[in-house]
Amino acid sequence: MRTVQIFDTTLRDGEQSPGVNLSTEEKVEIALQLERLGVNVIEAGFAASSPGDQSAVREVARVVTDASVASLSRAVPQDIDAAWEALKEAKQPAIHIFLATSPIHREYKLRKTKEQVLEQAAEAVRYAKRFFPVVEFSPEDAGRTEIDFLCEVADVVIRAGADVLNIPDTVGYLTPDEYANIFVQLRERVPGIDRVKLSAHCHDDLGLAVANSLAAIRAGVDQVEGAINGIGERAGNAALEEVVMALYTRQSYYQVATTIRPAEIARTSRLVSKLTGMPVPANKAIVGANAFAHESGIHQDGMLKHQETYEIIRPETVGFSQTKLVLGKHSGRHAFRERLETLGYTLSEERINALFARFKELADRKKSLTDEDLIALAEEKHGEVAEFFELESIQLSYGNHALPTASLRLRNRQTGDEVEEAACGNGSIDAIFKAIDRATGEQVELLDYKVASNTQGTDALGEGYVQLRQGELTVQGRGVSTDVLEASARAYIDAINRLLTRKQSKNQDATLNVVLG
């Protein structure tokens, strides 16, 4: 199996992402992580672009030992000198010289003829070869360059001593077939092509950067360039983690190895995201927060039965801790039960079904339910409680100059009757509790009341806690909802149900005593 080199340009093309500016320390930190990841070349910056970038390239080269360190350079002596100044102490220095070759760049940007471009390219490579053991040359905008002229450019830079010929699809214009065909043409038509390594460098303007890079690998290139998380100019570069994991996961198809340690991918992605300030989209392949998360019941059931039903890569392979089964409105009973069991709740089928119905009600109102939410739900009604009253609906009227009023409807589960009541109070909670007292007909004393949010965010679940006394009986109740007022009402009704359960069992005991006595 052949090995393809990984050329990382996170610190150069990646840093060209609008708004990104990495300090020397940050570049060094990322470079050391890239080395741990196992990349072969680190393009650390563009030494001639600023004194800061020159010193960053120098510092990266000072600390990196396993990978080659490169600087970008225009095809002019002063840029090459600046690159050498930064890299002369490096263990494996390399220079990456570029010069645009497409008609539009020649005519409008460089204002040079084809002959002038050929001469400048060859001259720059020759000059750089006086210092650098490895010279890479890129005909910028190769993707839109006439193929005959591209072959001429390749010919002159190879003759001038280039070691690597990179073919950038600078504006992400090509399709995979077209891009692969350029390498086929170069191989067929440029005499000294076997003397250089061929390299691919793709941009994502049409969302084809990774597909084009893989097509180039199928066409036999020796090196692939890209950036972690796919960052870079405009829509970015080929996302290296995606290219590498495609090669890894489909090894029997590509028959290509790399030196990358996949387990370092998640860490590298997090570091790059943190230091560049560019968040990784949740649905991003390989490193997005949802890349190994499953929300729908059918998928979760499949995953619980066999991981490969819905995952082609194990999260641990790329350095994530585990698959996430996110409980939300699309989830099913299998995942719900499994999560409750993991949290320590082994419940009867009947109880699971009752809790699952409540879970679906809540999930309709909240994006996803956390473990804390589930614990609150599981503990909402603990112990054997007969359901006497159930909350059907609740409505509040509140204004800072008006008396708060609560109207509610309860269903009496024992008789099937519905009771509607309303009450005013000193505050919304007072009004709710008074309305419940009226609807249930129970005279109780409120000993304690608390409400707390279980999780963060405005849609967090609120948990209400109530302690009531009636005569010698003291009971507690809990209620959960996305709304704290409803959670309080549920807690109060739960406490009343417990009270009625206790009274019922006391009566049964008394009757039994009379019969036995």
Ligand X SMILES: CC(=O)SCCNC(=O)CCNC(=O)[C@H](O)C(C)(C)COP(=O)(O)OP(=O)(O)OC[C@H]1O[C@@H](n2cnc3c(N)ncnc32)[C@H](O)[C@@H]1OP(=O)(O)O
The residues that touch ligand X, with contacts defined as CB under 6 A, are 13, 16, 46, 48-49, 74-76, 98-99, 109-110, 140, 170, 233
75 binds, among ligand KIV, ligand X, none (CB under 5 to 8 A by kind): ligand X
- Choice between 72 and 318, CB closer to ligand X: 72
CB of 91 to ligand X, least distance (A): 25
Q: Is there binding between residue 138 and ligand KIV (CB under 6 A)? A: yes
By beta-carbon distance, which residue lies closest to ligand KIV? 168
DSSP string, 467-480: EEEETTEEEEEEEE
Residue 46 partner contact from ligand X, ligand KIV, none using kind-dependent CB cut-offs of 5 to 8 Å = ligand X
Going by the annotation, the residues of the binding site are 13, 201, 203, 237
CB of 110 to ligand X, least distance (A): 5
CB 208 within 8 A of CB 178: no
145 binds ligand KIV (CB under 6 A): no
Structure token pair of residue 322: 């585990």
Site for ligand KIV contains 168 (CB under 6 A): yes
Residues in the chain: 517
433 part of the interface to ligand KIV, by CB under 6 A: no
Sheet strands (E) in 1-64: 2-3, 5-8, 41-45
Task: Assess contact for 464 and 487: CB atoms under 8 A.
Answer: yes
Which segments are annotated as binding site for Mn(2+)? 13, 201, 203, 237
Min dist CB 253 to ligand X, Å, is: 31
Q: Residue 138 binds which entry of ligand X, ligand KIV, none, with Cβ cut-offs from 5 to 8 Å by kind? A: ligand KIV
Range list of β-strands (E), 24-171: 41-45, 68-74, 93-100, 134-140, 164-169
For residue 492, give both structure tokens: 């109060």
Q: How far is the CB of 259 from ligand KIV (least distance, A)?
A: 22
In the complex with ligand X, the residue whose CB is nearer, 35 or 53, is 53
Which residues, 186 to 205, sit near ligand KIV by CB under 6 A?
Answer: 201, 203
* 3 state DSSP class of 42: strand
- H/E segment holding residue 201: strand 197-202
In the complex with ligand X, the residue whose CB is nearer, 29 or 140, is 140
469 residue type, one letter: R
* CB count in 10 Å sphere of residue 322: 9
Query: Is residue 127 packed enough to be buried (19+ CB in 10 Å), middle (13-18) or exposed (0-12)?
Result: buried
Q: Is 236 in the site for ligand KIV (CB under 6 A)?
A: no
User: Which of residues 99 and 164 has its CB atom nearest to ligand X in the complex?
Assistant: 99
Q: Which residues of 471-495 are buried (b: 16+ CB within 10 A; e: fewer)?
A: eeebbbbbbbbbebbbbbbbbbbbb
Q: Which of 151, 142, 302, 330 is nearest to 225 (CA)?
A: 142
Binding part of the chain for ligand KIV, among 151-159, 164-172, 247-255, 367-375 by CB under 6 A, reads: 164-172
Angle at 232 between CA 226 and CA 236, to 5 degrees: 80
| Contact status: 46 vs ligand KIV (CB under 6 A) | no
Distance in angstroms (rounded) separating the CA atoms of residues 93 and 200: 20
Which of ligand KIV, ligand X, none sits in contact with 155, Cβ below 5 to 8 A by type?
Answer: none
Applying CB under 6 A, among 140, 295, 373, 463 the residue interacting with ligand KIV is 140
Q: Which is nearer to ligand X, 9 or 258 (CB)?
A: 9
Closer to ligand KIV by CB, 101 or 497: give it: 101
Q: How many residues bind ligand KIV (CB under 6 A)?
A: 10
49 binds, options ligand KIV, ligand X, none, Cβ within 5 to 8 A by partner type: ligand X
Q: Provide the minimum distance between the beta carbon of 226 and ligand KIV in the complex, in angstroms, as a whole number.
A: 11
The single residue listed with the structure tokens 């399709």 is 175
Supply 39's token pair.
């990349």
Q: Select the binding partner of residue 201 from ligand X, ligand KIV, none (C-beta < 5 to 8 A, by kind).
A: ligand KIV
Q: Collapsing DSSP states into helix, strand and coil, what is residue 75?
A: coil
- Angle, helices 349-363 vs 371-380, to 10°: value is 120
Strands 402-412 and 389-399: antiparallel
Can you tell me which residue has the tokens 């290139």? 221
String marking each residue 12-31 x if it binds ligand KIV according to CB under 6 A: -x------------------
Write down the least CB distance from residue 342 to ligand KIV, Å: 48
Main-chain phi, psi angles of 127, to 5 degrees: -65, -45
Contacts to ligand KIV by CB under 6 A: 13, 72, 98, 138, 140, 166, 168, 170, 201, 203
